[in-house]
Amino acid sequence: MKTIEVRTGRSYNIYIEHGIISEAGKYVRAVSDAVRAVVISDSNVAPVYARRVTDSLAGCGFETSLFVFPAGEQSKRLSTIEKMYDFFFEHDLTRSDIIVALGGGVTGDMAGFAAASYLRGIDFVQIPTTLLSQVDSSVGGKTGVDLPGGKNLVGAFWQPRAVLIDPDTLDTLPPVFFSDGMGEVIKYGCIRSSSLFEKLEKENAEDIIDDIIYECVSIKRDVVEHDERDTGERAILNFGHTFGHAIEKLGNYGGLTHGQAVAVGALMLTRITEKKGITESGSAARIEALLKKNGMPTETEFPLSDILAATRGDKKSTGRSLNFIFLSRIGECFINKLPVAEIGSFFDSE
Ligand code: MG
């Protein structure tokens, strides 16, 4: 068992342990006196894991019910949240009860947002079951839904009471979801840990997955503790994301997965900053080799001009400028604020 404490406005623990999903009740009971627990899951995850979680919760004295929504990013909208509210109301959920998010990023983001807003906020626990949600989205308290105009445009900062990470759930994950998570894993190595990056170069990710999860969560914890509300340093977690979001958008969210798009975005950006002498030479080649090793794409069909045009709609823009995260070398990065008016000339002048 590995435990990571997150000291945000309200502190909580992240537990990493094989088989912890079957003991969820014990961990939820440790942070909650609730009478009722609502488990929120999607149509892919619920048939495989929900029973284990609801049985465990019931065994620890919770009156337990299960809300299941259709799997996929298309469900990540306010109409699904409204169905959750109705479900909470029908099941007499009170402010002292608890919500358990069981699934990937979409589930955690939505269950967290429903928890943040129902009765002006009730407790929730995250049980992330994909690599991406285990290393990234379940940690840090960002919750929300998409609008037709863009992803994650409505949401709240709402920290969970605990996060239970069971690496065994990755065994049932289709390969594309593993590479989706690896995009964010490689990102952590790039921005903060040359030793993690080197480990990924030497070893097979599957063989050292517990270590990888622990290191990524630790990095995210450190960053989030310094900047819970995302007004400064937390921006470094968006390395590769400005181009990545543009690539996802240009593919109408049906092309590359989020993690794959982020990885390709990080590589494209690093090729450019390396040519400009901002990033240590050889870095882009190392990132490219690592992506290939993990079965990930290294190119996108979209020209840079289209990607730059699409970045204008990125919500990470502050006023009239966009934050770009540049690597100085593998394991070190810095935030570079580029006025929107100068983005074209900056990237065209390479
Ligand atoms: Mg991301």
* pLDDT digit string, tens, across residues 191-228: 999 999 999 999 999 999 999 999 999 999 999 999 98
Q: What was the pLDDT predicted at 55?
A: 98
Q: What was the pLDDT predicted at 312?
A: 74
Q: Which two tokens stand for residue 104?
A: 């990937």
Greater confidence, 151 or 87? 87
Query: For the residues 104-131, what does the mean pLDDT come to?
Result: 98
Is the pLDDT score of 319 beyond 70?
no
Helix (H) or strand (E) holding 340: helix 340-348
Q: What was the pLDDT predicted at 318?
A: 55
* Contact assessment for residue 2 and residue 210, using Cβ atoms and an 8 Å cutoff: yes
Q: What is the CA radius of gyration of the chain?
A: 20
Is the C-alpha dihedral spanning 149, 154, 159, 164 positive or negative? negative
Q: Measure 224 CA to ligand 1 centroid, in angstroms.
A: 14
Greater confidence, 12 or 253? 12
* Contact assessment for residue 167 and residue 18, using Cβ atoms and an 8 Å cutoff: yes
Query: For the residues 234-248, what does the mean pLDDT come to?
Result: 94
Q: What was the pLDDT predicted at 105?
A: 95
- 2-172 carries CATH number 3.10.20.740: no
Is the pLDDT score of 350 beyond 50?
no
Q: How confident is the model at residue 9 (pLDDT cuts 50, 70, 90)?
A: confident
Distance CA(256)–CA(271), nearest Å, equals 20
Q: What was the pLDDT predicted at 309?
A: 87
Q: Are strands 332-339 and 321-329 parallel, antiparallel or unpaired?
A: antiparallel
Q: How confident is the model at residue 10 (pLDDT cuts 50, 70, 90)?
A: confident
Q: Measure 174 CA to ligand 1 centroid, in angstroms.
A: 19
Is the pLDDT score of 349 beyond 70?
no
Q: Measure 348 CA to ligand 1 centroid, in angstroms.
A: 26
- Residue 175 neighbours by CB under 8 Å, 6+ apart: 295
Q: Which two tokens stand for residue 39?
A: 């488990």
**Residues 273-290: pLDDT tens digits?**
999 999 999 999 999 999
Q: Distances in Å between the alpha carbon of 279 and those of 187, 248, 285, 334?
A: 15, 25, 12, 11
Q: Measure 328 CA to ligand 1 centroid, in angstroms.
A: 21
Q: Which two tokens stand for residue 322?
A: 């966009």
Report which of 180, 184, 198 is spatially closest to residue 135, judged by C-alpha positions.
184
Q: How confident is the model at residue 129 (pLDDT cuts 50, 70, 90)?
A: very high
175-347: CATH topology = Dehydroquinate synthase-like, alpha domain (1.20.1090)
Q: What was the pLDDT predicted at 19?
A: 97
* Contact assessment for residue 78 and residue 139, using Cβ atoms and an 8 Å cutoff: no
Q: Measure 237 CA to ligand 1 centroid, in angstroms.
A: 8
Helix 105-117, helix 78-90: angle, nearest 10: 60
**Residues 85-113: pLDDT tens digits?**
999 999 999 999 999 999 999 999 999 99
Q: Where are the domains of the chain?
A: 2-172, 175-347
Q: Measure 257 CA to ligand 1 centroid, in angstroms.
A: 10
